[in-house]
Structure 1
Amino acid sequence: MNISKKLMLIVILTTVEVSITVFSAFEIAKGAKFHQLNFLHLKYINQLSKSINEIEIDKSIDTKTIESNILAIKQQPIDCLEEINILNKVIMEIINTNQALTICEKDIEVADTALSSLKQYENRAIDRHTFLTSLNHALYNFNEHSENFEEPIRKTVSFILITLIPLVLIISLFNILFISYLSRTISNSIHNLTLLLSSKPKDNINLDEDLEKNTTGELKALIIAARQRIREDFFNLENNKELQAIVKTQTASLQQANDELAQFAYRASHDLKSPLSGAKSLAQFVILDIEAGDTKEAINNAKIIYQQMEKLETLVVDILLLAKADISSEDITPIDFDQLIIDMKERLAWLMKDNPCTLETNITLSKPITSDKARFAQIIENVISNGLKYYDKTKPSPYVKCDIFDKSDILTIIVSDNGIGIPEQHQDEVFDMFKRFHVKNSTGSGLGMALVKKHIEFLKGDISFESSKDGTIFTITIPMDKQV
């Protein structure tokens, strides 16, 4: 039998026992109530007797008091009949005590007759003597009924006590034994399952087979559900760990991006504001110079404004290039590095003019490179232009060299110079935005190397450098099989 059925049986047996016990208690209490009703019956008979004695000594007749006494006497047998149920009637029939019901019915009839005589006396239909005789006859019957009522009620109550109390005890004892048996079987089932789960598996027998052989019903279903839940919890735990690791990594990346964005916004707004503010002030001077007729000074200030706007344009262009560095490009074409160097020299003509630095390039490729031409152009141009800008004026033969070659599916670009180098205390900041380490020689926006770094990371490559007073060497490596 399943544990749930055993528990249900225990509940049913307990409910039956409690119901019989409560019923027995009510039945025993009912016997006491019958005795109480008979006592009240005698009490009101005594009051009626006093009223009759007063009439006999020629006192005036108080019909209201007499009527009240008779109604009170009548109420006791009425209450008694209402308390009797079908089971009581059956019991009284069996033990031959049903005459108590007949007595109650006769008592009510006597009371009704006495009340009728009272009405007749009040209406002067009968005289005083006839009324008194009627009351004495009713009083006699009431006393006789009260006396005869006591014995069958006592006998009925005794039978209930003798019958129900042993029945309750027997049922209680049976319940105790049977419930103890059921509880023991449940405890044994749980104990056996506990031993099974806590013991080591036998040779060639796994836990599923043991459960199948030794466990049934709800316990088996419970263990199966618990094992499934544990598997799911372990699976979810592993997923949560992986998810937490991903979230942690993404959070760190997002925090870094936010920090970079905050720094970028601050420096960009500062660098954009400077030439704009200068141009605005100079424009006011130009207006004043023109009004004063000093065209020469106005022209000089206008030239300065033009230079400021060029600087602003360079900054804006570099910001746009930096913003586009993280965006995938569809312009994937074979790259002609020789032409790329020629185009770069044309764009850097302004920087190379009157510049004592010599630019040497050496390109050795075993196979064509297909990738984003614009990214490579910006990488090479920014690194080379830095070498040209920061050459060492004290050295007799300043130079910048660019070597481009491939080996084992790795494209390598090495740009070296013998310039003034990067100050050691700032070498960790080379790829940060808006960083300029030689303010006197600086003409750019400070975004060049940050742009180079983003392009190389987009191409899954790497960049490193060595720098000292003897010069700087940048080494760029890009896997050719992982290019865009």
Structure 2
Amino acid sequence: MDKLTLKNLKNQYLISFLSVAAVSFSCLIVRDVIDYRIVGYLLLVVVSLLAIFLEIKPVLLGAVLSALALDFFFIRPYYTLHVDSAEDGLLLILFFIIVLINAVLTINFKRMQRAIQAKQTRASTLKLYNTLLDSLSHELRTPIAAILGSIDTLQQRNVTLSAETQQKLQNEIEKASMKLNYQVENLLNMSRLESGYIHPKLDWCDVKEIIYNVCDRLKEETKDHKIIYVIDDNLPLFKLDYGLMEQILYNLIYNASQYTPKGAKIQIEVKYEIDADYDMHIDVVKKCIITISDDGHGFPEAEIDKVFDKFYRLQNSKTGGTGLGLSIVKGFVEVQNGTIKLSNAEEGGAVFEMVFAVDCLPTNTVENE
């Protein structure tokens, strides 16, 4: 038994002793006006409460002390363990038995609850990781197969490939590699989120630059979509984590490109707002609001609250996807003290709105410097 467990057990013994002592002393003050049977009921309640929160041995100590206190202080003759009447003796024995049975049953019920919870947790975890493995078997196998197939074709010596075909195969390799890298990055990011190792490195960021860089990386995925930018030219710099913001925007725009039909619009809007409270003092809150919306099919209303859950995929979505992208987005937003909300637009399509309460630096200040 380690020192921490031993100390915790000692504390439980102390709690058990003090609880019985406190109730006994309180009842002793009014012993002349209450029946000792009522004291027995009160002590029974104390032991029952102890059984809910403490381990079995401290509870048994409380049960024994309760029986001794009832006999010593409240059953005549006082201040002795002797019992005059057979009725009182029988009552004391029954009290002790009931207290013990109640304590043991409560402890066993508590253990059974823990076992059921542990079993449910294991089953839930197993289901989640089975879902992940099923997803990865498709998401990783497809780009790997594309890479191997393209390389095998390029290495065939008895087949003459045109420059255009070679370029096409190389583009396939690049595209598959990027997709593979995206899935691996999501897995690593989820691992970092769960371990709590992510500490944002806040610095002055040009959100416009991040957006344009992300869209350039996704130009192949969004070539059949229309990207609309609604960004103020005089947008200030915001104190955010550049790398995390890049991954957030990448996941959201990539998700929009994958789950909207060809020709759909993807709109990226960035606003800067100032909220001020003019009650007793001025408390200025500066906000960076980023909205990514599309005119696709949107999300089923019944599933909107679940889309940020780890490994969750829409019931009627196309095959593929690990269900990690949006959960990573939510985690990266929240570690920067931001919030994210998903809703469906009235005219159709999904709307992701992120709000960051952050410091800002006007661009004209930078230019002057």
Counterpart CA distance in 1 for 2:246 and 2:90 is 69
Residues 332 and 475 of structure 1, relative CA distance in 2, 3 Å threshold: closer
Partner residue, 1:357: 227
SS in 2 for 1:452: helix
Please state how far the C-alpha of 1:264 moved relative to its aligned partner: 0.4
Asked if 2 retains the 8 angstrom alpha-carbon contact of 1:419 and 1:472, the reply is: yes
| 2:365 alignment partner in structure 1 | none
Q: Is the 8 A contact 1:285 1:298 kept in 2?
A: no
Residue matched to 1:331: 199
Q: Among residues 143, 148, 158, which one is paired with 1:280 in the alignment?
A: 148
Q: Classify the secondary structure of the residue corresponding to 1:347.
A: helix
User: How many residues are paired up?
Assistant: 269
Residue pairs, 1:403-482, within 5 angstroms:
415-422=291-298, 424=300, 427=303, 430-431=307-308, 433=311, 435=313, 447-453=324-330, 455=332, 464-467=341-344, 469-475=347-353
Deviations along 1:144-169, whole A, 9 cap, x unmatched? xxxxxxxxxxxxxxxxxxxxxxxxxx
The match for 2:75 is: 211
| Aligned counterpart, 1:315 | 183
User: How far off is 1:326 after superposition?
Assistant: 0.9
Q: Distance in 1 between matches of 2:114 and 2:273?
A: 37
Q: Do the aligned partners of 1:357 and 1:391 also contact (CA within 8 Å) in 2?
A: no
Task: Tell me the amino acid that sits aligned with residue 75 of structure 2.
Answer: L
Q: Deviations over 1:431-483 (max 9, x none)?
A: 464858887xx998764224224556888987542225533223557999xxx
> What is the alpha-carbon distance in structure 2 between the residues aligned to residue 266 and residue 467 of structure 1?
29
1:303–1:265 distance in 2 versus 1, CA, 3 Å: same
Alignment of 1:132-147 (within 5 A): none
Deviations 1:416-440 (A, max 9, x none): 424213254995674464858887x
Q: CA deviation at 1:327?
A: 1.4
Are residues 225 and 373 of structure 1, via their aligned partners in 2, closer, same or farther at CA, if it must alter by over 3 Å?
farther
Secondary structure of the residue aligned to 2:298 is coil
Give the TM-score normalised by structure 1: 0.42
Q: Summarize the Cα distance change of 1:242–1:227 in structure 2 as closer, same or farther, 3 Å threshold.
A: same
* Identity percentage of aligned residues: 14
The 5 Å alignment of 1:82-481 reads 203-207=33-37, 208=70, 211-213=75-77, 216=82, 227-228=95-96, 230-231=98-99, 233-288=101-156, 290-294=157-161, 296=163, 297-329=165-197, 331-334=199-202, 336=204, 338-339=205-206, 342-351=209-218, 356-360=226-230, 378-387=247-256, 399-402=267-270, 415-422=291-298, 424=300, 427=303, 430-431=307-308, 433=311, 435=313, 447-453=324-330, 455=332, 464-467=341-344, 469-475=347-353
Contact kept in structure 2, 1:388 and 1:400, CA below 8 Å: no
Higher Rg: 1
Amino acid in structure 2 at the alignment position of 1:467: N
Q: Which secondary structure state, in structure 2, belongs to the residue aligned with residue 325 of structure 1? A: helix
1:246-275 deviation line (CA, Å, top 9, x unaligned): 554454343222211001011102221122
Partners of 1:247 and 1:410 in 2: how far apart?
Answer: 48
Letter in 2 for 1:379: I
**Conserved 8 A contact 2:338-2:354:** yes
Unaligned runs of 5+ in 1: 1-200, 363-367
1-structure distance, mates of 2:294, 2:243? 27
**Larger strand fraction of residues:** 2
Cα 1:333/1:387, change in 2 over 3 Å = same
Is the contact between residue 268 and residue 290 of structure 2 (CA under 8 Å) also seen in structure 1?
no
TM-score w.r.t. length of structure 2: 0.52
Q: Which sections of structure 2, spanning at least 5 residues, go unmatched?
A: 1-30, 38-69, 233-237, 278-284, 359-369
Q: Give the whole-Å Cα distance in 2 for the aligned partners of 1:311 and 1:373.
A: 21
What is the 5 A alignment of 1:40-55? none
* In 2: Cα distance, 1:472 partner to 1:202 partner: 73
For 1:183, the equivalent position in structure 2 comes to none
CA offsets 1:283-337 (integer angstroms, 9 cap, x no match)? 332222x33343534453343233322322222222222333211126344464x
Post-superposition Cα deviations, 1:203-260, rounded to whole Å, max 9, x if no partner, equal 5332435533398369788866764564455445445555554554454343222211
CA contact (8 A) 1:461 1:477 kept: yes
- Residues 302, 359 of structure 1: alpha-carbon distance in 2 compared, 3 angstrom cutoff: closer
Tell me which of the two structures has the higher relative contact order, counting C-alpha pairs closer than 8 angstroms and 6 or more residues apart. Answer: 2
Matches within 5 A, 1:39-78: none
Listed one character per residue, the Cα deviations across residues 52-84 of structure 1 (whole Å, up to 9, x for unaligned) are xxxxxxxxxxxxxxxxxxxxxxxxxxxxxxxxx
Cα distance in 2 for residues equivalent to 1:376 and 1:238? 50
